[in-house]
Structure 1
Amino acid sequence: MTVAVEPYRERPARIAGAELWTRTAEGGEFRILPDGCMDLMLMDGELYVAGPDNRAWTGSAPRGTRYAGIRFAPGAAPGFFGVPARELLNEQVPLAELWSPNRTRRLLDRIRSAPDQPAALDLEVARLAEGPTDGLTAQVLTSVRSGLLRGTAGVSRLAGTIGLSERQLHRRCLDAFGYGPKLLDRVLWMNVALDHARTGLPLADVAMITGYADQAHLTRDVKALTGLPPKVLIG
C-alpha cells in the first residue's frame, strides 16, 4: 500500500493568535525548533501537549504518521491547560496527565467521531477556551515585538513599567512562557530572522532588519538555540 504524504500546512485557528496545523510524516528524522509556543497535538489518535522548548530537538516517526495540532500563541496555553508553562518546559505529555482521564476521553471521542478531525480539534479547543491572556503577557509580548527588550537595560525597563521587580517579572514569565523575558526575546526574534532568511534574503540583511549586531551575531544565536547555523537550517 502506498501512503500519501501530505506537506506541512497551517492556517489561523478559531482562537485568536493560534494556528491549526497538519502534517503527515515523510519518515526519518525531523527537527523541532524553539518558538515560544505550546501545542495540543492529535497524534496516532491520542492527544498530547507539547510544552515550550528552550532548545531544538530531533524526533522520528514512521512514514504516513498523521499529526494535527493547535499551536497556541506565546503565553496563551497555560490558562487553557491549567498548568504553568515552566512545568512543561522541553516536555511532551499525554493530555490525560494534565486533565482528568474522563475529561480527556470525552474530548477525544468528539474529535475521533468527526469526519474532519483537525477541524474538530480546532472547534473543540475554541469551545473550551476562556478568553484572552492576561495583561502582563500582552505587555511582555508587545515589548518583545517592538524591540524594547534588546540591550542590557531592556528587562529592568520593562519590569519598572509593569511595576514588578526583575525577579517577579522573571517568575511570571516562566509561568506564562516557560522561560524568562530575555530568552523569550531571543527565541521569538530568532524565528522572525529565520522566516526572513527562508525568503532568500542575505543573512547580513536579515541580521540588520531583525536587530542583531551583525551576521556573526545572528549565526551564533541561532546555533546556540538550535544546534545548527542558519544556512544549514534553511537549506
Structure 2
Amino acid sequence: MSHYRERATTHPGLVCLWERSADTPTTGRVVPDGCTDLMWSDTGALFVAGPDTTGHLTDMRPGTLYGVRFAPGVGPSVLGVPAHALRDLRVPLADLWNHPARLEDALATATDPCAVLAEAAAHRLRANPPDPLARAVTRALPTTVAAMADDLGLSTRQLHRRSLDAFGYGPKVLHRVLRFDRAVKLAWRGVPFADVAHRTGYADQAHLSREVKELAGVPLGQLIRP
C-alpha cells in the first residue's frame, strides 16, 4: 500500500511540500503539471524531476520519498540550469550542484526532510530570483503566441527562448499543460467531467478526453481512480 500527502508552505515560489511512502514495491503514474521537484529518498538518493511533457509510470521501492515542488518557472533559479535541460528527466542533484554533501547530511538527520529541502531551495531563490517573465506568461490569458509576445513587449522568438529556459517548453505547450493540470485537479475533487471541460476552457468533454489521453496516456476516469 502507498500513501501520498501534500502540505502548504509559506516559502515564495514553492507550490507545496509532499511525502510519498510505500510498504511494498509499487508503480504510480506521473503526469505533466508544468512544475519541477527536488526530492530526497530515505535511502539517501537526492535528485531532481524535470518538467514532463507526457505521463509515464514510475516504480517506487518500499520507503518514503520527500519532495518540494516548484511553481512553473521557479525551478531553474533553484537548480542552476534552464528547464529544458531537465525536460522529461530525473537527475541526481550532484550533477547540478557542486558538493551537495552538506544538504545530504542535514537530510539524513532531519525530523522533517521536506522543511530542509524547502529551506535549501528558498536560500537559493533569495540569491537568484526567477525570471519575472515566468509569472507573466503563466498568468496570461490563452491567446496566440504572437499576441502574447506583443503584450509582453517581446518578439515571438524571444518569448519562446525564455519560456524554454523557464518552463522547459514554449508558451503554447505550457498553457496546454497548465489547463490539463487544472482539469485533473477539478476531476479529483469530483466535478463532473462535462463541467470540468467547461470550466477549464475545453471545447467540450470529448476535447477534454482527447487531451487527457494524449498528455496522461490514460483516460481521465482511469487517471483519477484511487
- Identify whether the pair has TM-score above 0.5, normalized to the shorter chain: yes
State the 1:129 CA deviation. 2.4
Which residue in the other structure is 2:218 paired with? 228
Contact 1:49 1:95 in 2 (8 A): yes
State the 1:161 CA deviation. 1.1
Q: 1:149 aligns with which of 142, 147, 164?
A: 142
Q: Deviations over 1:64-107 (max 9, x none)?
A: 3210011000000101111000000000010000111x2x1111
Q: Distance in 2 between matches of 1:191 and 1:181?
A: 15
State the 1:116 CA deviation. 2.6
Q: Larger % of strand: which? A: 2
1:40 and 2:41 are equivalent in the alignment = no
Structure 2, unaligned runs of 5 or more: none
1:213 and 2:206 are equivalent in the alignment = no
Q: Which stretch shifts more, 41-50 or 212-221?
A: 41-50
Number of residue equivalences: 221
Q: Deviations over 1:29-49 (max 9, x none)?
A: 110001100011002212101
1:135 and 2:127 are equivalent in the alignment = no
State, as a whole percentage, how many aligned pairs show the same letter: 47
TM-score in terms of structure 2 length: 0.92
Contact 1:14 1:122 in 2 (8 A): no
Q: Deviations over 1:41-66 (max 9, x none)?
A: 0022121011000011111122x321
Q: Distance in 2 between matches of 1:138 and 1:117?
A: 28
Contact 1:55 1:226 in 2 (8 A): yes
Which residue in the other structure is 1:7 paired with? 3
Secondary structure at the counterpart of residue 182 of structure 2 = helix
RMSD: 1.6
Moved over 4 A (4+): none
1:105 and 2:120 are equivalent in the alignment = no
Contact 2:77 2:129 in 1 (8 A): no
State the 1:124 CA deviation. 2.8
Contact 1:40 1:70 in 2 (8 A): yes
Please show how residues 60-99 of structure 1 align to structure 2 within 5 Å: 60-62=59-61, 64-99=62-97
Q: 1:184 aligns with which of 162, 174, 179?
A: 174
